[in-house]
């Protein structure tokens, strides 16, 4: 059984576009680190972040 709501399925994998989402650095910039430059946040939350987090 697939989870649904009134409009239809809640999760349509064919419509998901992860590249359209902002980076983790952009998401955390305003609420968590407004004084840090975006470049520093991008370096911290870059490709190796997942390795440090889950590795």
Task: Tell whether the model's pLDDT for residue 29 goes beyond 60.
Answer: yes
**Which pLDDT tens digit goes with each residue over 12-24?**
888 888 889 899 9
> What are 5's strand-pairing partners?
8
**Which pLDDT tens digit goes with each residue over 34-55?**
999 999 999 999 888 888 888 7
pLDDT-derived band at 11, boundaries 50, 70, 90: confident
Q: Tell me which DSSP letter residue 17 carries.
A: -
Q: Tell me which DSSP letter residue 55 carries.
A: -
| Number of Cβ atoms within 10 Å of the Cβ of 8 | 8
Percent residues over pLDDT 70 in the chain = 84
- Residues, the chain: 55
C-alpha 44: how far from chain center:
14
Stated pTM of the model: 0.62
| Distance in angstroms (rounded) separating the CA atoms of residues 34 and 37 | 8
């Amino acid at each position: 059984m697939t989870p649904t709501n009134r409009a239809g399925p809640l999760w349509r994998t064919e419509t998901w576009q992860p590249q359209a989402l902002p980076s983790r650095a952009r998401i955390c910039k305003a609420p968590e680190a407004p004084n840090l430059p975006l470049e520093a946040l991008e370096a911290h939350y870059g490709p190796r972040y997942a390795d440090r987090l889950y590795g």
